[in-house]
Amino acid sequence: MRAIALSVIAVLLFSGHAFAKTVSLPITIDYPLLGLIIKNSVFTDPGETAVALDENNGCQKITLSEPQAADEGRFVRLKTRVKARAGAYLFNKCVAPVEWEGYIEVVQEVRFDDDWVLRFRASDSRLYNSEGSPARLTGIIYSLIKTYVHAYLDQIEINLAPPVTKMKKTIAPFFGPQASAPLKKLVKSFRPGKIRMTKDAVRMEILAETDESADKREDEKKLGDDERERFTGSWEAWDSFLAYLLTSLPDGSLPPEDQQILLDTLLDMRSRFITGLAEHTLGPDFVRDQFTDSWTALEPVFRKRLDHGHAKSALGYLAFFTSSDALVTLDKIGFAFGVEISRNGLLRLARLLADDRPAPLTYSGNVDTKLRKSLGLGEPLDEGGPSFDEDELDLESVGVDKTGYMPQLIDFLATGMAWADTSQNKSKIEMILKWVATKKNLTSYLQRARRLIDESAAANLKKSSIPKKYHQLYRFIVPATAWQESCFRQFKKSRGKVTYLRSYNNTSVGIMQINERVWRGIYNPKSLRWNIRYNAMAGAEIADIYLRRYALRKMNKSKPLSADTLARAVYAMYNGGPGQFRKFLKRSARGKFYLSDRLFRQKYLWVKKNRRDKMTACFAGM
């Protein structure tokens, strides 16, 4: 018998037989959202009220309002305001009515039934007066409240089938065609699981069956050159979704701690992409990993702050949360072929936040005022000045001779663009030519460029909350950064054409080398390219962000960093993103620095010592 049993096991193991296992996906309804769903589905009378009793022309009437849900151990506590009236109805008149107004807390048992419906049953209640102190009621008022409020609230039902159905449809595009069969099997097996109350939410299970063989993922491989362009498109869709997500929060000001979480998430996601792209370390799972990491960080903020609006949107947000949580869970268990963050899937997910209205995910360079506000960055910078769509100016085509004289402006480049205001655009071209460094104007150019950078730092300090004791350090960091990044250059001229300065990997531009992908939606790319003052102000603002909201915030107060180390840590983040703060400190502790670390230190020390004579060194060979 033992031999037969072993033979059967061997056949099962080597015949490709798939063993089913049960997985659990979460439905989480935090208590503010639960209270909102109850209010929007039950408290539907005028003024967001619920009438639990209305008899004899209002002689006996109980009106409920302002529902709030909270934790009560194994139960849910539903607190509402109560306005009660009771009298004797005689000869069509209400005789000797008694009125009372206060609050009732009803402790309710919650069931999650097989039909996906949440049901509530009162087990206890407590009364409070309008000031919130315990109330001791007797007589007819107490009897009516006890009888009718309990009975009314026992009728509350929340149907979770619609958000679960939405979740099924939403997650489908996140899996490739090869996952179609396992996904259908998984979704078909959905059934309600256990329910439990925690201190912050009602948590339910969606149980489902999946094959063991479907829960395997191959080792990630690096992207080939032919795959990189398609992958970049997928990442841009994801980045657009992330920006849309951050602007879906209410218009009211977020507390600084929440703004910081949003900024951390956005800068970290974008900086990691830029680094991976430059170092050719991106793999097919990169976007999926960014999705799961960012949702883990952002979910608590969204559950606290999202403006749920009305009943439909409240259940839509629940479907959004449930879909996002399901994708993260399925990814963690390695479900069949992995989650693929597709544009179509992200569009469906975004629609859940938009009451099923279209939510286009456009990868646009336009400044998003709401995004800046959500991140705590204030009003956009002034964009007045040169700003063109073209990547280069053909000086001959705009009537500029070798001496820089502009007798007339004709069509710009060969684009057929007609200039409506010749004098205005002539002025813009002249502003650009003024900032082209040549052998003849190098000394005066560097004086003007350094003055521009210093003025930008001073202007930023006027609106910044950097502590005063760090002002001088900041004034050193900004010009040292411009020196290191561009040698104070915004433009370069070659063969009769002028173009803006780009980094070696074509991601950063101008005198402060602002990365257009990292700071997308926060700064105008056309102004960053063609307006040196705008670029300088953006760089000064970014240095402020990394000093004030990262270095000073993260610095160990019991063991503060020296001013020089602090400056170098800020530049490391400016150059490589927020994650470089800890990495730089580790490099510093080991005494093993990147080349960029060493070069910045040199420029920083020259700025401190006012060694302006060194500024021409990087123009050698001009």
pLDDT higher than threshold 60 for residue 453: yes
d(CA 527, CA 84): 63
Determine the pLDDT at residue 241: 94
- Per the DSSP assignment, residues forming a β-bridge with 50 are 64
* Identity of residue 31: Y
Q: pLDDT tens across 275-330, in order?
A: 988 888 888 788 888 999 999 999 999 888 765 554 457 888 889 999 999 998 88
In this prediction, residue 397 has a pLDDT band, given cuts at 50, 70 and 90, of low
586 and 517 housed in the same domain? yes
The number of angstroms, rounded, from the C-alpha of 5 to the middle of its chain's C-alpha atoms is 55
Asked if residue 37 is part of any domain, the answer here is yes
Same domain, 150 and 235: no
Backbone φ, ψ for residue 183 (5° rounding): -70, -40
- Residue 207's DSSP bridge partners are 24, 191
Give the global pTM: 0.84
Model confidence at 5, pLDDT cuts 50, 70, 90, reads very low
Domain boundary pick from 159, 188, 207? 159
Q: What is the DSSP letter of 561?
A: P
Report d(CA 255, CA 376) in Å as an integer: 9
Position 176 in a domain: no
475 and 614 part of one domain: yes
How many residues make up the chain in this entry?
A: 622
Report CA 181 to chain centroid distance, whole Å: 33
Whether residue 277 sits in one domain with residue 132: no
- How far lies 306's CA from each of 38, 378, 545, in Å? 17, 21, 25
Q: With 90 as the cut, is the pLDDT of residue 563 above it?
A: yes
CATH number at residue 557: 1.10.530
Same domain, 456 and 586: yes
Lowest mean pLDDT among 248-252, 398-402, 513-517: 398-402
Residue given tokens 């123009």 in the structure block:
619
The mean pLDDT value for 176-196 works out to 88
What's the pLDDT tens digit per position in 34-88? 998 999 888 999 989 999 999 999 999 999 999 999 999 999 999 999 999 998 8
Q: How far is 394 from 413, CA to CA, in rounded Å?
A: 6
Domain annotation covers residue 10 = no
Query: Which comes out higher in pLDDT, residue 218 or 232?
Result: 232
Domain boundary among 345, 374, 403: 374
- The stretch 567-583 carries a mean pLDDT of 97
Identity of the highest mean pLDDT range in 280-284, 383-387, 400-404, 594-598: 594-598
Residue 172 lies in a domain: no
Domain that holds residue 458: 436-619
Copy the structure tokens of residue 330.
Answer: 């399925």
> What percent of the chain has a predicted confidence (pLDDT) above 70?
86
* Mean of all residue pLDDT scores within the chain: 86
Which of residues 570 and 338 earns the better pLDDT score? 570
pLDDT for the residue numbered 530: 95
Of 138, 159, 180, the domain-final residue: 159
Residue 614 has pLDDT above 50, yes or no: yes
Phi and psi at residue 621, to the nearest 5°:
90, 5
Q: How far apart are CA 407 and CA 352, in angstroms?
A: 57
pLDDT in the model for residue 251: 64
Q: Do residues 128 and 252 share a domain?
A: no
Residues 42 and 116 grouped into a single domain: yes
Residue 91, Ramachandran bin (φ over 0: left; ψ between -120 and 50: alpha; else beta):
left
Q: Is residue 544 part of a domain?
A: yes
Q: Are residues 354 and 467 in the same domain?
A: no
Q: Which amino acid makes up residue 77?
A: R
Q: What is the DSSP letter of 287?
A: H
| One domain, residues 465 and 556 | yes
Q: Which residue has the tokens 């170092």?
A: 279
- Output the pLDDT for position 535: 98
Mean pLDDT of 523-539: 97
Helix (H), strand (E) at residue 156: none
Sign of CA pseudo-dihedral 605, 608, 614, 617: positive
Decide if 519 is inside a domain: yes
pLDDT above 50 for 391 = yes
- Residue 342 pLDDT level (bands cut at 50, 70, 90): confident
Q: Assess whether 504 and 604 both reside in one domain.
A: yes
Instruction: Quickly state the pLDDT bin for 179 (edges 50, 70, 90).
Output: confident
Q: At what angle do helices 311-332 and 31-42 cross, to 10 degrees?
A: 140
Q: Is residue 408 part of a domain?
A: no
Provide the 8-state DSSP code for 12: H
> Which is more confidently placed, 555 or 551?
551
Going by C-beta distance under 8 Å and a sequence separation of 6 or more, which residues neighbour residue 300? none
- Give the number of C-alpha atoms closer than 13 A to the C-alpha of residue 224, restricted to the C-beta side: 2
The backbone torsions φ and ψ at residue 440, rounded to the nearest 5 degrees and listed phi first, read: -75, -35
- Both tokens of 564, joined, read 């020089």
pLDDT in tens, 111-121: 999 999 999 99
CA angle 10, 12, 16 (to 5 degrees): 115
Residues 450 and 590 both lie in one domain: yes
User: Rounded to the nearest 10 degrees, what angle do helices 161-171 and 343-353 cross at?
Assistant: 160
Q: What is the pLDDT of residue 481?
A: 98
The total number of structural domains in the chain stands at 3
The predicted model gives 596-622 an average pLDDT of: 91
What is the reported pLDDT for 60? 92
CA distance 35 to 83: 19
Say which range, 288-292, 392-396, 561-565, has the weakest mean pLDDT.
392-396
Residue 489 in this model has a pLDDT that exceeds 70: yes
Same domain, 234 and 329: yes
Domain assignment of residue 168, yes or no: no
Task: Please count the helices (runs of H) and the strands (runs of E) in the chain.
Answer: 21, 14
The pLDDT of residue 576 is 95
The DSSP bridge partners found for residue 514 are 509
Question: In this predicted model, what pLDDT tens digit does every residue of 189-229 receive, in sequence order?
Answer: 999 999 999 999 999 999 998 876 555 555 555 666 667 77
Residue 504 tokens read as: 């070696």
Fill in the amino acid letter for 163: P
When mean pLDDT is compared across 124-138, 347-361, 591-605, the lowest value belongs to: 347-361
**Token digits of residue 167:** 């979740």
Contact by Cβ (8 Å): 305, 30: no
User: In this predicted model, what pLDDT tens digit does every residue of 415-425 receive, in sequence order?
Assistant: 333 333 445 55
pLDDT given for residue 41 in this prediction? 85
> What is the distance in angstroms between the CA of the first residue and the CA of the last residue of the chain?
89
